[in-house]
Structure 1
Amino acid sequence: MDVTFATPRGREFTLEVWYFATVREVKEAVGAREGVPVASQRLFLGGRELDDDARDAAHYGVLQGSRLLLLLPDDPPPPSAPAAVRVAVSAPAIGRGVALDLRAPDTVARLKELLQDRTDGALPAARTALFVGKAEMEDAKALADYDPPADGAMEVCAVVRQPPAAVGGGNGARNNQQRIAVKVKFGARAVALEVGATDVVRDLRKEVERLRLPVRDGGGGYFFVYKQNVMDEDRTLRWHEVKNGDTIEIFNGTVTGGA
């Protein structure tokens, strides 16, 4: 995954790091690129320091596209962000507002997941755009990146984007099918996706691979499980009775038939 590093003096650079890299391994990558000793580096995401070198960077919410503050001994201390953030979300699409309590290091993607849960899928994470003022919030960024006020109160507007309309051709029926939002869970992480109810499970696999989700452990295969049952990749999500807001799990390995 690509992670951007920024220094208080205005320098920025991007490195590709392994999704399961430890904080130390991330610092070693920075050291190899910039010649900065690991012991001299401090990394921050959304005002929170990645202070345990042995932990995976993902533990601190580092994702594809994340932006980390790189602090060196001669740099000024990072600006403090409120530890807790209360997000007031106005949602014209559902005719009401939603208030959520999060931490400053929580990502925008996490906020969208909570909104989907709180609204029973009325604000699907895969199609909801969030705005602070006129700026659209980016999934990989932390709430602290949007400078919440000292009292920790943020005002956000949610806009639900409609799926593209079908334009002629033989795929019209497929394009007009019912869309549902599901969570695909792998390990401790979950990603919201929008899929067609009549898509086969194999289509879900294509979407997972298109997004380059880090689902393979050691480069092997993987399979999908819904409600503790292995999913048939040639059957549709509707056949498996997958509904809006449901969770589909990914497990590493292969499934073989019985004798």
Structure 2
Amino acid sequence: MEVTLETVAGRRFTVEIWFFSTVRRIKEYVLRQEGIPVESQRLFFAGAELDDDGDTERYSILQGSTVLLLLPEDGAAPPSSGGGGGGGGGTKAMVRVVVNAPAALAGKGGAVTVEVDAAACTVAGLKERVQEGTDGALPAARVALMFGKVEMEDGRAVAEYVPPGAAADGTATVVVSAVQPRVTVNVKWGAKAAAVEVSDMLAVKDLRAELGGAAAHLPLPKDGGYFFIYKQNVMEEDRTLRWHDVKNGDTIEIFNGRVTGGA
């Protein structure tokens, strides 16, 4: 199966691994493909640092998962101590997030700080906290959050981008930008098509709900048994339209059936 590794600097690459690979084995795949020494790699998933002896089954790493790769040059301190090793013990991985938006927050020095449990808080939840902290100056539905060069996706945990210890003082800086204008895509079912206007930050799985008015023209299965194809590739349900590089005026095709993982 394939998993994506992403660095704090925003570099992304995909490695192909065995379904039950150990973390050590994943690091060896990275060494072989990217030339990064095993001892220089620290891997994080869902807010936790991965133990070399653990495997993909233990950490629920699946086809298409994104694993954060920390390197020595990232200057990362070890995750906050509290129990050594892999169990986690239920302690919260709190991080302070400084949100920079000079234009919108002129009266607040151009930034606000919120503290969140990185493992439990989604990016969408962080946007809501930012909205509250700015008295509505930065509406959750109208902003995109950037960590380094990476745009943070709503359905993902903050820890996938900002793991515990990513900064020596437990503080990470996230930059806010205005969401790009909505895009109009042509959704096609067989010979029939309908135009739908959506945000390019919409997750593919949420496109189903947006079909609303278009559904009257498209005889879609009522049980939701269909999937989306863009440029001859199956679209990943948890990824956004922007991640798939969908542009204004593009066509997304709908096919009957369901896609199972690992194919």
TM-score (norm 1): 0.43
TM-score (norm 2): 0.42
